[in-house]
A and B are shown apart, each in its own frame.
Chain A
């Protein structure tokens, strides 16, 4: 045990170890607490149990081969990681993907955001003893996963994007299917709204629990719903719009309390806003190709590969040597479900990345966890942890 819990000033405190494998930690997180009665007086965190050196692995694979690794960062909303990574590589290449591709990416990102929030709120409620909401939400999540499966064959680890485009175009009938799923969602949200939002027990367990101030949230580099729950309306989709997010009509949801209840309300609101975006996007999907028309970036169509020497050569070059972006480094960030997901990619004009750095939103947020919990009870810490939505895959990389 290399993280030392500094002995509290007296031995009157009891030490308790939570995790790394504990039902209430949602992943491999280890937490040491010093307790006085039931009140937390000191807390130390140990992370790294799920560390697999994503950044080192990325250096030994071609640019496109890194995409499956990004699935495993925040595996609850894998598609957003796929989008974030390829956006960085495309920025490095200096290309813009087609409007159709952008629109598809927006739809998939917002669906991912919804299922991420569904899992977060559902699991948070389970930790506090409310199982029903979890089932309600997981039913909808399954429906969204069916959509993903129809699109790319995978449900959880989707690897759906490619540099310069997508793995596949939307299959026939997908848009109508998606509309049906999206139209069903508000009812479930209303159901859970009715079950939780004005529920006495839920309010008692979450209001004033695990609060963080505006100033502290900024100090710790909070982004996403946790930052917006403190009253700061910062959302990258509005602040630095990408993929025409500024053309849709939607609002940034904020609350002012910064506690677990505020984070719950922000996530509930954001799902409704995401539904608005998806509906507008589904109504207007531009035609045309999904992939950019550049054979040094995207694979040529199969009939060209089989029937022309140029197509065959382009295919071979791309598979064997990969894309070769110009030397340089860029940072691209997207508003993922947990906050700012940034990829800083460096190229030395080779088929493999020189370095890929990911800025995971969880890493910054989890660091503030002790400060949010000291002075509160262990059961409050469990409620707080659930509302921060720490995903170990992204935290430890």
Chain B
């Protein structure tokens, strides 16, 4: 972490323990929102700390979704990213965590046991982007049909592609 990054984060959080600091790659501010990019190895321990530390108390996981930067006009470390939106209602603070995942191995630890909300959000990220969540109890499609092939929100999935269902509906032939 650079010194400017530490300063930005200090506006939002009490100082992180030394071992967790190493997991934070960088901190950015854009339009008043703070985004911390973190290493995927340290994601779970960092979120656990943010949730449970009495000075942080990020008690709500507001959102979790994936990004595909394949055609993005700016350089990103990896193709995929997951964005976690944590909110502390008590202190009225918001923090965005971003973790980059490689194209070959888009895999990260599940946090469904830290926030119950994460269960469906992780299933959605799997369904639409093909991100794998280690330890998720039921990582199946949630929005698309079970026979759907591919992950529709990836940039290399054509937006005008059609897929035909293999199973015949009972009404076919009428």
CB within 8 Å of B: which residues of A? 2-3, 47-48, 51, 53, 55-57, 59-60, 91-92, 94, 216, 218-221, 223, 232, 234, 239-240, 327-331, 340, 342, 344, 346, 348-350, 354-355, 357, 359, 363-364, 367-368, 396-397
Contacts and interface: CB of A to CB of B under 8 A. Distances in A.
Nearest to A350: B73
A344 B89 contact: no
15 contacts: A2-B141, A51-B144, A60-B159, A219-B115, A220-B116, A221-B115, A327-B73, A328-B30, A331-B33, A331-B63, A331-B96, A344-B83, A348-B73, A350-B73, A367-B120
Contact of A48 (B96, B144, B157, B159): B144
Contacts of A396: 143
B143 A397 contact: yes
Contacts of B116: 216, 219-220, 367-368
Contacts of A59: 159
Q: Is the interface of B mostly helix, strand, loop or mixed?
A: loop
Given A53-B153, A349-B73, 16 more contacts: A2-B141, A3-B140, A47-B142, A47-B143, A48-B142, A53-B143, A92-B31, A218-B60, A221-B60, A221-B61, A234-B89, A330-B31, A340-B62, A346-B67, A357-B65, A364-B117
Nearest to B92: A239
A47 B140 CA distance: 12
B33 A56 contact: no
A352 to B, nearest CB: 11
A3 B140 CA distance: 9
A58 B40 CA distance: 29
A344 B63 contact: yes
A191 B101 CA distance: 56
Contacts of A92: 31
Contacts of B146: 2
Nearest to A357: B65
A101 to B, nearest CB: 19
B31 A53 contact: no
Contacts of B120: 363-364, 367
Q: Is the interface of A mostly helix, strand, loop or mixed?
A: mixed
Contacts, number: 97
Contact of A56 (B59, B74, B141, B153): B153
Interface of B: 30-31, 33, 59-63, 65, 67-68, 71-74, 83, 85, 89, 92, 96, 115-117, 119-121, 124, 128, 140-146, 152-153, 157, 159
B72 A348 contact: yes
A364 B71 CA distance: 30
Nearest to A1: B146
Contacts of B62: 221, 223, 340, 342, 359
Nearest to A3: B140
B117 A48 contact: no
Contacts of A355: 67-68
B142 A348 contact: no
B153 A330 contact: no
A397 B143 CA distance: 9
Nearest to A215: B59
Given A359-B85, A367-B119, A240 B143 contact: no
Nearest to B62: A221
Given A2-B140, A328-B30, A354 B72 contact: yes
B65 A348 contact: no
A254 B125 CA distance: 33
Most interface-central of A60, A220, A327, A346 (chain B CB within 10 A): A220
Contact of B59 (A94, A218, A342, A367): A218
